[in-house]
Amino acid sequence: MSRPAPSALLPWLESLRCPHCAEPVELAERTLRCSRHHSFDLARAGYAPLLAGASPTSGDDDDMARARDSFLATGAYAPLREAIAQIAPPHIRRILDIGCGTGYYLAGLLEQRPDAHGLGVDTSVRALRFAARAHERAAAASWDVFTRFPLADGSTDLVLDVFAPRHPEEFARVLAPGGHLLVVRPAPDHLEQLRTAVPGMVGVDPRKEERLHEVLDPLFTTVRTVPVSFALALDAPTARDLVAMTPSARHVGEQELRALLTGTSEVTVSVVASLHRRR
Ligand SMILES: C[S@@+](CC[C@H](N)C(=O)[O-])C[C@H]1O[C@@H](n2cnc3c(N)ncnc32)[C@H](O)[C@@H]1O
Ligand SMILES: [Zn+2]
């Protein structure tokens, strides 16, 4: 007997669209199907595989997703999770988390919004397996943020984007009138100490803020911008996970990572969270 489809997916069924032909889809047992007979079997882990054809342009590999899960499980970024719940509008029903990773922030927000349901989207299979079980009201789906989203116009109240790639035109399209976008990105001094210790770590583009506004401003009005900063004491395994969960892992040699495993360090978490209303 096959397992029932995850109940967290049900509130999204009306909004989901076929990634091939944009027709509505229906769910029968564990298969999503459009009227043109394109079909998508839910993954065993429970997420909806809606990547149309081509392989995704980017995404975390299994090791990065696993490192992210262990790092976030330490609670090290709990202050950021709390800040996100503070900044998000109070009355939201539908939350779309883009590049959701393990679903940590989506789950935190759902905890604070008992009437809301969420959908976490990512291209990383390993991340989606975590995201599909992050919260009982969180569904998960795979699609590439740089393509057209398999969602109807106006089908969400909040798009959450935490350290993830962005597609402002699609964010605006899938947001309902008056809907919001919440973006979290690193500030220039984010994890500065770690970046000094590990020379291969990717830096923060100093023009990041300017470039973000260039692309968002035509579509969104900025409601508020909140710096979130706190000190973090890291033991060696946690520091290793923190490096290993970032794209820097690809540029940092094994030796450098091993060097990090000795001793404890304090780092500054410094990010910017902003809330934007769809114009
Ligand atoms: C830095 S991680 C952030 C994850 C999560 N928001 C968090 O903060 O814990 C970026 C995430 O975006 C996903 N991602 C990268 N490229 C993507 C794409 N083209 N479409 C969808 N997700 C993508 C990665 O797989 C990864 O999980
Ligand atoms: Zn179709």
Domain boundaries, the chain: 7-278
Instruction: Give yes or no for residue 162 CB within 6 A of ligand 1.
Output: yes
Which CATH number does 7-278 carry?
A: 3.40.50.150
pLDDT digits (tens, 9 = 90+) for 61-87: 999 999 999 999 999 999 999 999 999
Whole-number Å distance, alpha carbon 35 to ligand 1 midpoint, is 31
Q: Are strands 175-186 and 156-162 parallel, antiparallel or unpaired?
A: parallel
pTM reported for the whole predicted model: 0.96
Q: What separation, in Å, do the N-terminal and C-terminal C-alpha atoms of the chain show? A: 48
**Could you tell me where the DSSP H helices lie in the chain?**
62-73, 78-87, 104-112, 125-131, 168-174, 192-197, 208-216, 236-244, 254-260
CB of 56 shorter than 6 A to ligand 1? yes
Ligand 1 neighbourhood includes 124 CB (under 6 angstroms): yes
In short, whether 244's Cβ falls inside 6 Å of ligand 1 is no
Residue of 154, 155, 138, 157 lying closest to 89 (CA atoms): 157
- Report DSSP state, residue 261: T
Q: Collect residues with CB below 5 Å from ion ligand 2.
A: 18, 20-21, 23, 34, 36, 38
Alpha-carbon dihedral sign for residues 196, 202, 207, 210: negative
Please name the residue that has the structure tokens 């830096």. 203
pLDDT digits (tens, 9 = 90+) for 2-53: 677 799 999 999 999 999 999 999 999 999 999 999 999 999 999 999 998 7
Tokens read off for 232: 């973090």
